[in-house]
Chains A and B, each alone.
Chain A
Amino acid sequence: MTLLRLILTNTQRHCIRTLIGVAGIAFGVAAMMTVVTLLQGAVNMFQRILKDDSEIIVFERHVSDLFFSNVAISDIEIMGTWPMVEQVLPSLFGLVSSEDRPVIACFGVTADSPRLKGAEWIEGNLSDFGQSRDIVLGSRAAEFLGVKLGDSAPLGHDSFPVGGIIRTENGFEDGGVFMPLAQAQEFFHKNGVASIASVSLFDDDLREAFIAKVKEGFPDLTALETEEFGNSYSQFRIIEATAWAVGGSAFLLGGLSVANTMIMSVFGRIREIAILRVNGFSPTQIASLIFGESSVITFFGVALGIGVGFGTMLVLQRVPLFQGYVDTQLHGSVLGVVVALAFVTGIGGALYPALYAMRIHPAEALRFE
């Protein structure tokens, strides 16, 4: 017989009550895990689009979103002539819609884009890209638009002949549309500009020099290393903050459910707690009993929550709508934070009940039938 045995017995005594607490924590854990992982996955995927083809990206200073960034093709051409620069590639990002897809990512690129070069060509081939109005579709996009090579794909106010279908790892790309740059400029009314320029240098050591040169030569533009871009891009930060906020709210609910469970549990055994006191339990031992019970609830909540979280992500991965868009790679650090938060809320929820239990007046409680 140990304190642990007493703790376990107490949690078993009111199964339903305990289960409600466990479910609360599990809900918080699962929600936070899923939301944070999915949104982080989306951010990572977008970041990878940028990272795939360059070390540095150049975009318009002070824009809130890359979709609004305008970098003049003439400026990009100037950068291309700098001796340190191996390659500069313009990309124009846009969103188009089709009948039942309100948002499809559209990439205006040139034929030397690594996005096209690195992809697996299911139909058509790269050498034709840019020769005509033909567009290339990601395999998922071809699937949901219901088109094949040679068909005409309706996009926005126009329709385009499909000149190729590619498969890529990245959800945004695989569900996206690739247009020759000139075509995209016309379609989005952005003649003479791109959203970003992806820059590769001959030597990594030249990065700082390049960034400084852009700053000096093009005050309206910003050059950033791609990793740094990910950290400073406000959209990513907003998305991540949202993820943690949504997850945090779920946790708050979980914490409240533990608090509720523990309050019910303490109020329901005031007399019993007095008896423990009479039998030599110190107020601290009584508090550790209550905290122990909430820790047990939290432990099972975390275990269940992780299971449910993984399950949810597996299911989401299989839902056709999300296919390719869902990156369910769970980072150890996210799991660590989620588990730590679960214990903080679980223990926090037991704070008031434990204090209450410590202060139970034995003589009064013994009259309590």
Chain B
Amino acid sequence: MNTCNSIKPIIEFCNLWKSFDHDRIQVLRGASLSLEAKETVALVGASGCGKSTLLHLIAGLDEPDQGVVYIEGKALNKCRELTYRLRHQIGFVFQLHNLIPNLTLRENCLIPAVAAGTNRKQAKARLERLAEATGIADRLHHRIQDLSGGERQRTALCRALMNGPQIILADEPTGSLDDVSRVRVFELLLKLMREEGITMIMATHDLDLGRRCDRVIRVQRGTLFDETSDHQPSL
């Protein structure tokens, strides 16, 4: 339990509980974790074990029944703080790209900038750099419908990085891709995280890819085990 007090964790929670359906579905039962900045973590576990639930709780999209999630030492109190967290601190990537059809790649990527009211010039410069990095620079004016799954996922990644978050939460970002694209997108993700110094938690069923992260954490029976340090609870 001592790591709850470790030096400057970027994400920290102790004894997190979450259940659904009036306690009938108990998903998290005292999950604890402390992550330092720039760490990359693979979150693994059987389907239905609570990986997505945990990511939602970390982002503040849902509230735990018990326990508090601290991001950079701060807990959420108000709706405004949640907006700030989602706008500036955390970027989300999903299994499905969740891009808005009828908008071009460029427009989709700029949505977080619209939300934050970033000035045009800055947003444009940032987009150009990210589009280059994610390899979609030459497709920016295409619509989502014209793209392959891998390209869509790169676009989603570009969007998640738009406002320069310190944390990326990725929920099976490669889950809907074929083997080749899966590896490519994952490698891109990991490379960008390391280059930009971003902390990442990625839920995945692909242990081979997961092992390439700094830590592998398994969700089991509602708690977290750090597989990189011999099945000890991740504290």
Q: Does B152 contact A (CB under 8 A)?
A: no
A278 near B106 with CB under 8 A, answer no
**For residue B116, which residue of chain A has the nearest CB?**
A280
A-B pairs under 8 A by CB, number? 74
A280→B98 contact, CB < 8 A? no
CB distance B86 to A280 under 8 Å?
yes
In the complex, the answer to whether B88 meets A363 with C-beta atoms within 8 Å is no
- Are B61 and A362 closer than 8 Å at their CB atoms? yes
Q: In the bound complex, how far is the Cα of B88 from the Cα of A279, in angstroms?
A: 9
Tell me if A3 and B114 are in contact (CB < 8 A).
yes
Q: A5-B107, A12-B102, A279-B111 are in contact. Are A366 and B94 (CB under 8 A)?
A: yes
Q: How many chain A residues touch the partner (CB < 8 A)?
A: 25
Q: Which residues of B contact A363 (CB under 8 A)?
A: 56, 61-62
A residues in contact with B110, CB < 8 Å: 1
CB distance from B207 to the nearest CB of A (A): 24
Answer whether residue A276 sits at the interface, using C-beta atoms and an 8 A cutoff: yes
A360 CA to B107 CA in the complex, in Å?
A: 23
In the bound assembly, the distance between CA atoms of A361 and B62 in angstroms comes to 8
What is A's interface to B at a CB cutoff of 8 Å? 1-3, 5-6, 9, 12-13, 271-272, 275-283, 285, 361-364, 366
Is B79 interfacial (CB-CB < 8 Å)? yes
B residues near A278, Cβ cutoff 8 Å: 59, 61, 86, 92
With both beta carbons as reference points, the residue of chain B lying nearest to A271 in the complex is identified as B98
Q: Considering the chains assembled together, what is the distance between the CA atoms of A366 and B163 in angstroms?
A: 21
Do B112 and A366 touch across chains, with their CB atoms under 8 A apart? Answer: no
- Which residues of B sit under 8 angstroms from A271, Cβ to Cβ? 98
Contact A279 B94 (CB under 8 A): no
Contact (A280, B88) CB under 8 Å given A1-B114, A13-B102 = yes
Contacts A1-B106, A1-B107, A278-B61; A6 near B114 (Cβ below 8 A)? yes
- Which residue of A3, A12, A280 is within 8 Å of B112 (Cβ)? A280
- From 83 to 127 in chain B, residues with beta carbon under 8 angstroms from any chain A beta carbon are 83, 86-88, 92, 94, 98, 100-103, 106-107, 110-116, 123
Q: Is the CB of A279 within 8 A of B101?
A: no
Q: Decide if B113 touches A281 in the complex (CB within 8 Å).
A: no
Task: Tell me whether A280 and B107 are in contact (CB under 8 A).
Answer: no
Min CB distance B174 to A, Å, is: 18
CB-CB under 8 A from A281, the residues of chain B are: 83, 111, 115
State whether B102 touches A279 (Cβ < 8 A).
no
B83 touches A280 (CB 8 A): yes
- Distance of A12 Cα from B101 Cα, bound (Å): 11
**Which secondary structure characterizes the binding site on chain B?**
helix
B159 at the interface (CB under 8 A from A): yes
Kindly state the interface size class of chain B when it binds its partner: 20 to 34
Q: Write the nearest CB–CB distance from A49 to chain B, whole angstroms.
A: 58
Q: Are B114 and A277 in contact (CB under 8 A)?
A: no
Residues of A within 8 A of B86 (CB): 277-280
- The answer to whether B115 touches A276 (Cβ under 8 A) is yes
CB proximity of B47 to chain A, nearest CB, Å:
14
Q: Nearest A residue to B57 by beta-carbon distance? A: A363
Q: Nearest chain-A residue to B56 (Cβ)? A: A363
Across the interface, which residues of A come within 8 angstroms of B112, CB to CB?
Answer: 279-280
Known pairs A278-B86, A279-B86, A280-B112; A9 contacts B103 (CB<8 A)? yes
Closest to B96 in A: A369
- Once the chains bind, are A1 and B113 in contact (CB under 8 Å)? yes
5 contacts between A and B (CB under 8 A): A6-B107, A6-B114, A280-B116, A281-B111, A363-B61
| Interface pair B56/A366, CB less than 8 Å apart | yes
Contact A279 B83 (CB under 8 A): no
Q: Give Cα A285 to B123, complex, Å.
A: 19
B229 vs chain A, min Cβ distance (A): 30
Cβ–Cβ contact B107 & A279, under 8 A: no
**Which B-chain residue is minimally distant from A281 (CB atoms)?**
B115
A363-B56 Cα distance, complex, nearest whole Å:
6
B88 touches A283 (CB 8 A): no
A283 partner residues in chain B, CB cutoff 8 A: 79, 83
A362 / chain B contacts, CB cutoff of 8 Å: 56, 61-62
> Who on chain B is nearest to A367 by CB?
B52
A172 to chain B, nearest CB (A): 56
Interchain CB contact (< 8 A) of B102 among A9, A280, A285, A364: A9
B residues in contact with A366, CB < 8 Å: 52, 56, 61, 94
* Contact status B114-A2, CB under 8 Å: yes
Provide the bound-state CA to CA distance between A50 and B60, in Å. 73
Taking CB atoms, residues of chain A closer than 8 Å to B56 are: 362-363, 366
A234 to B79 Cα, complex, angstroms: 56
B-side contacts of A361, CB under 8 Å: 62
3 nearest interchain CB pairs?
Answer: A280-B87, A280-B115, A363-B62
